[in-house]
């Protein structure tokens, strides 16, 4: 495979760090790697295939001779710099919400809609979905193909790593404070996250849902290429470091039994079925952490819907939910289009 120059924007963050590791682990054919972050990080260095690479300040000139730019520095940085990177000739794979709902920008999960990558030509940008949506649609798509999903009710249990490095540090600090009988001081979240659950991810909208919940609503329709699917989500932050878990309930057009769904998902790309309640076997965040696949268990017929199915789905939110999904897109892009 040809090798290319790659830039990682947000290289010092939770997602950016994982992007660098994922490129290395998957032996992505990188000719030169450029690590970009804010001025604050100039002076830091990271190792890539045994070589120390300095972090550079992100500027308008950062994308000269870059073919692929992986962005994970937030939506405002993406809005400002992704068009500049594309104009300089790079294809941007953007992890933020900045472009996800723009009709001419593809929103891609490789197991679900890899063909949409071809639309990168429109604006030189491909959007990477939200982590909670990615793991859900990887498990929904094979069921939708067989029995068409009409609606989905989902409750998420999201790890603090989804908020970034500061939140990982905050959970650790609060656990230490509590065990040392010290007062807890919330900083990243509005309330104590240690030993607590916060039904609040991203900002609240007028309709009572949060922005994270509405991302699941809109992104599912776009990735599954079916505007008729509706999603009602309740997104909850829980005191887990890595790995988002989701309780997913769906109404299908056509009846499927639990064993039919187990069979469908056991053959689905990127899915591992862990479903043996008689031996207490079901997916766990601590086991999904560091893994590439989406793990599904507790598959059963949902009693509340006609033609209902319910399951529990878990994935590493920083890997499949962000960095790995972006690198998988880059692999297809390089193999098929560049």
**Residue 328 binds: one of ligand NAP, ligand 3JN, none (C-beta under 5 to 8 A by kind):** none
Closest alpha carbon to 136 in 154, 157, 161, 150: 154
The C-alpha atoms of residue 252 and residue 197 are separated, in whole angstroms, by 30
From the CB of 130, what's the least distance to ligand NAP, in Å? Answer: 4
Query: Any contact of residue 164 with ligand NAP (CB under 6 A)?
Result: yes
Mark 105-128 as b/e (b = at least 16 C-beta within 10 Å). Answer: bbbbbbbbbbebbebbeebbbbbb
In this chain, which of 37, 105, 233, 235 binds ligand NAP, going by CB under 6 A? 37
The C-alpha atoms of residue 132 and residue 109 are separated, in whole angstroms, by 12
In this chain, which of 41, 62, 130, 135 binds ligand 3JN, going by CB under 6 A? 130
Query: Any contact of residue 162 with ligand 3JN (CB under 6 A)?
Result: yes
Cβ distance to ligand 3JN smaller for residue 144 or 215: 215
The C-alpha atoms of residue 204 and residue 213 are separated, in whole angstroms, by 9
Scan residues 91-150 and list those touching ligand NAP (CB under 6 A): 95-96, 128, 130-131
Mark 207-218 as b/e (b = at least 16 C-beta within 10 Å). Answer: eebbebbbbbbb
Cβ distance to ligand NAP smaller for residue 273 or 315: 315
Given 144, 235, 244, 249, the catalytic residue: 244
In this chain, which of 68, 105, 131, 271 binds ligand 3JN, going by CB under 6 A? 131
Query: Any contact of residue 325 with ligand 3JN (CB under 6 A)?
Result: no
Query: Any contact of residue 79 with ligand NAP (CB under 6 A)?
Result: no
In this chain, which of 321, 328, 330, 333 binds ligand NAP, going by CB under 6 A? 321
Q: DSSP letter string over 72-137?
A: -S-HHHHHHHHHHHHHTTPEEEE-SSSSTT-TTS-B--TTT-GGGGGGHHHHSEEE---HHHHHHH
Q: Which spans in 26-88 are helix H?
A: 75-87
Strands (E), 182-331: 230-237, 244-252, 271-273, 294-301, 308-315
Query: Any contact of residue 47 with ligand NAP (CB under 6 A)?
Result: no
CA end-to-end distance (rounded Å), the chain: 11
Query: Any contact of residue 88 with ligand 3JN (CB under 6 A)?
Result: no
In this chain, which of 13, 124, 270, 308 binds ligand NAP, going by CB under 6 A? 13
Scan residues 188-247 and list those touching ligand 3JN (CB under 6 A): 201, 215
The C-alpha atoms of residue 199 and residue 74 are separated, in whole angstroms, by 22
Q: How many residues bind ligand NAP (CB under 6 A)?
A: 27
**Axis-axis angle for helices 131-147, 258-266 (nearest 10):** 110
Given 115, 131, 235, 249, the catalytic residue: 131
Cβ distance to ligand 3JN smaller for residue 12 or 97: 97
**Residue 110 binds: one of ligand NAP, ligand 3JN, none (C-beta under 5 to 8 A by kind):** none
197 is catalytic: no
The C-alpha atoms of residue 153 and residue 155 are separated, in whole angstroms, by 7
Cβ distance to ligand 3JN smaller for residue 143 or 235: 235
**Residue 70 binds: one of ligand 3JN, ligand NAP, none (C-beta under 5 to 8 A by kind):** none
- When CB distances to ligand NAP are compared, the closest residue is 13
The C-alpha atoms of residue 87 and residue 36 are separated, in whole angstroms, by 18
DSSP 183: P
Q: Which residues are catalytic?
A: 131, 244
Q: Which residues bind ligand NAP (CB under 6 A)?
A: 10-16, 37-38, 40-41, 58, 72-75, 77, 95-96, 128, 130-131, 162, 164-165, 321-322
Q: Which residues bind ligand 3JN (CB under 6 A)?
A: 74-75, 96-97, 130-131, 158, 162-163, 201, 215, 317
């Amino acid at each position: 495979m040809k090798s290319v120059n790659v830039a990682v924007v947000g290289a010092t963050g939770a997602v950016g760090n994982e992007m660098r590791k994922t490129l290395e682990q998957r032996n992505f054919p990188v000719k030169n790697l450029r690590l970009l972050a804010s001025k604050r990080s100039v002076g830091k260095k990271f190792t890539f295939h045994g070589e120390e690479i300095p972090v550079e300040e992100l500027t308008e000139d950062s994308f000269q001779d870059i073919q692929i730019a992986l962005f994970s520095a937030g939506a405002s940085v993406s809005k400002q710099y992704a068009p500049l990177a594309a104009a300089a000739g790079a294809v941007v794979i953007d992890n933020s919400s900045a472009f996800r709902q723009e009709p001419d920008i593809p929103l891609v999960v490789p197991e679900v809609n890899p063909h949409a990558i071809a639309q990168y030509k429109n604006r030189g940008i491909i959007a990477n979905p939200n982590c909670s949506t990615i793991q859900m649609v990887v498990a929904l798509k094979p069921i939708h193909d067989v029995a068409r999903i009409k609606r989905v009710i989902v409750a998420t249990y999201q790890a603090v790593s989804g908020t970034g490095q500061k939140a990982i540090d905050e959970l650790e600090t609060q656990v230490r404070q509590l065990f040392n009988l010290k007062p807890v001081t919330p900083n990243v979240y509005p309330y104590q996250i240690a030993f607590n659950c916060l039904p609040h991810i991203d900002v609240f909208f007028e309709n009572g849902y949060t922005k994270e919940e509405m991302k699941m609503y809109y992104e599912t329709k776009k990735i599954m290429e079916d505007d008729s699917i509706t999603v009602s989500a309740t997104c909850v932050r829980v005191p887990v470091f890595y790995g988002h878990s989701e309780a997913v309930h769906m109404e299908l057009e056509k009846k499927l039994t639990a064993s039919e769904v187990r069979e469908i998902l056991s053959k689905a790309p990127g899915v591992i079925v862990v479903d043996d309640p008689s031996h207490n076997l079901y997916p766990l965040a601590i086991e999904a952490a560091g893994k590439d696949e989406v793990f599904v268990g507790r598959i059963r017929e949902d009693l509340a819907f006609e033609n209902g199915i319910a399951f529990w789905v878990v994935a590493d939110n920083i890997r499949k939910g962000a960095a790995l999904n972006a690198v998988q897109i880059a692999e297809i892009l390089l193999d098929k289009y560049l």
